[in-house]
Amino acid sequence: MDEALISLEKVTKVYGGGTRALNEVTLSFEKDEWTTIMGPSGSGKTTLLNIIACLDLPTSGIVRIDGKEVTGVGQAALTRLRRENVGLIFQQYHLVPYLTALENVMLAQYYHGSLDETKAADALKNVGLEHRLDHPPAHLSGGEQQRVCIARALVNEPAILLADEPTGNLDQTNGNLVLQLIRRLHEEGRAIVLVTHNPDIAGFGARTIRMVDGSVEQDSKIRSGVDGSVERFTNPIRLVDGRVEQDSKIRRRQKW
Amino acid sequence: MGVASVLIGAAVVTALLTVSLGVGDQVGQEFTKYGADLMLQPQSNTIQIGLPGVSIGSVTEQRYINESDLWMIRTIEHRANVLGFAPFLYQVVTVGDGPNAQQAVLAGTYFNKTIQIPQPASSQDPSEFSTGIADISSWWKVTGNWITNQNDTTSAMVGSNVAQKLNLTVGDSFKVSYAGTQNSTTATMQNGTTATMQNGTTATNVKELKVAGIVESGGAEDNQIFVNLPVAQDLSSRPGKVDTVQVSALCVRCPVADMASEIQGKIPGVQGTTITQLTNAEMSTLDKYQSMMALVTAVALLASTMGIFTTMTANVTERWREIGLMKSIGAENRSIASLFLAEAALTGLIGGIGGFGVGIVLAQFIGLRVFSTTIPLRWEVLAVAIPIAIGVSLLASALPVRRATAVEPAIVLRGE
């Protein structure tokens, strides 16, 4: 089996107040996979994304990126892993208001230690914003701001793009534009992990993980058949002797 | 707001330093402005006579200081603090002839004289000393010129009141005559010394003088005519004699009393009097003023610190999300800290430069109001004010910066 890009092994996250946000979650993400994480508020999906993005460390369990263990490396090393491996796309775009579109993209290069204006401009061109390089975020529409955010996430060529409700603040037209863009990036070979409430968006990805109360409730994959039919494989999670297990025997086959 | 906070602190620091440095220099000059620091007179030249409790008058036995002893003033222990001195020999002269004749006080003095020091107190000391009234009375307003040549026997500097009375302007010539026996007037000098004319001289000496400059001092000098000392000595036939010597000290807290007794010990028959009361009053003004300014500075710097602390804290809070974002895209704590510290340093620099400008103006205001003098611009104050401004900014930013580095990158995903 190919080495998973990111793997989580019995990852638990308990916040200061005693809130158990993740409960012994075991998951792995492959290099060319598009995974959608769904679930109600408070189900732990944002915490899961934080840990995949190396924004936070688990309370217990092991996280590996490219087979290397992340857990226990310390904040500074975590920061390095994050900027080397992860591109982040936010619901609120999080652009720096006093920098232009180009400078916002270059900010990621700056912290990555690889300033290159041409490359930053190319990243913006890649998302269709070559005419907006010198505009500050306030002069851009929501869709354009989200595309700047995507360009910034792309510019250091991360292996995985993490998107948190990327279309949450956008109208349908702009939302579709952004999803098309993400699909293209996926087709170029990037792993995508996308968190959303929207079941329509979940349809873009081959794999959907459903979180409930800090655990993975359902993990299903769609495979395109040779005849054009689409199959969905669902791997329900169940507790065996108090441990969460993914049971491949209960794989159901259904027509999509 | 941050810049304004630093500006106020830097302005007060600048004002304090500029005034302290400037006034420190200036006060030395201020003192000489009020007259000499020390007055040398011949010892006990007046003896009271009469029955016990009933004063009949005084018998004055005229005594003099020998001009040839004056060099010893520069051999006392505190000689380095002797800014200069000028001897005076006073006499009442008649100016002009006939019905227009007027009486005036003629003072022989040094304007700018180089005296020899035959026995310097130390081998490193120079054997010459240049001194005179131009050094100790530099505040005189002179229309025309100072007398600069110590051998000039025909020029005079005339007090403004005398010039007015005699209708003299610069370049005019006038005659003075001194007749010892005809004139028994006792002239009261500016220092209160009484100089009684020598009796027994019957000859009338006449001298023609030319007005080199007209002196306006606002004091006794306005009623006197100044000539080179030898001219006065010749006119009254008192060669080598001096009535009084005014000594100026150059320092802020001069040990004038020590200097007086040192001079008394060096030159026999001389009594030194200090102008202490005036000196002390000026000193205590400066001292009080400096302690007050130090207090104001401390308060202002504290206020600056609090102002910057508040501004930086607000800045960090406002940019909470931006900090989280920077960290989420790979900024290390070091980068975040540098960003905010650089902003603080820039605030300090701008505030410091602005505060320096404001402080200079403030210093002038204080100088004029408190010390009645303008205060020179001191660039070295900039070298103190700017680092203080930057230092205060950085110090006040320490805690806000710690808060900034503590921001968790995960906030960017919480969708708040």
Q: For chain B, give the percent of residues with pLDDT over 90.
A: 26
Cβ-nearest to A79 among B322, B325, B327: B327
CB contact under 8 A, A55 and B328: yes
- Taking only the tens place, the pLDDT of each residue in A80-133 is 888 888 999 998 899 999 999 999 999 999 999 989 999 999 999 989 999 999
CB contact under 8 A, B330 and A79: yes
| Site from B413, B414, B416 to mutate, A interface, most A CB atoms within 10 angstroms | B413
| Site from B322, B326, B329, B332 to mutate, A interface, most A CB atoms within 10 angstroms | B329
Task: Place A13 in a pLDDT band, splitting at 50, 70 and 90.
Answer: very high
**Interface contact A226, partner B, CB < 8 A:** no
Q: Indicate whether B24 pLDDT > 70.
A: no
CA-based nearest distance B396→chain A, Å: 25
**Cα distance between residue A244 and residue A246, in whole Å:** 7
Task: Place A38 in a pLDDT band, splitting at 50, 70 and 90.
Answer: very high
CB contact under 8 A, A111 and B326: yes
- Taking only the tens place, the pLDDT of each residue in B368-397 is 887 667 788 888 889 989 999 999 999 999
CB distance B181 to B199 below 8 Å: yes
Task: Place B57 in a pLDDT band, splitting at 50, 70 and 90.
Answer: low
Give me the DSSP letters along chain A. -PPPSEEEEEEEEE-TTS-EEEEEEEEEE-TT-EEEEE--TTSSHHHHHHHHTTSS--SEEEEEETTEE-TTS-HHHHHHHHHHHEEEE-TT----TTS-HHHHHHHHHHHHT---HHHHHHHHHHTT-GGGTT--GGGS-HHHHHHHHHHHHHTT--SEEEEESTTTTS-HHHHHHHHHHHHHHHHTT-EEEEE-S-HHHHTTSSEEEEEETTEEEEEEEEEE-TTS-EEEEEEEEEEETTEEEE-GGG-EEEE-
Q: Indicate whether A247 pLDDT > 70.
A: no
Q: Is the ipTM of this complex over 0.85?
A: no
**Cα distance between residue A34 and residue A160, in whole Å:** 10
- A6-255 folds as Rossmann fold (3.40.50)
Task: Give the residue extent of every domain in chain A.
Answer: 6-255
**Cα distance between residue B107 and residue B225, in whole Å:** 6
CB distance B18 to B359 below 8 Å: yes
User: Exposure string (b/e) for A163-176, b if CB count within 10 Å is 16 or more?
Assistant: bbbbbbbbeeebbe
CB contact under 8 A, B409 and A92: no
Work out the average pLDDT over B292-319.
Answer: 90
pLDDT computed for residue B59 by the predictor:
59
CA-based nearest distance B368→chain A, Å: 46
- Taking only the tens place, the pLDDT of each residue in B124-146 is 888 888 888 887 777 788 888 88
Q: Indicate whether B199 pLDDT > 50.
A: no
CB contact under 8 A, A50 and B413: yes
**B202 against B407, higher pLDDT:** B407
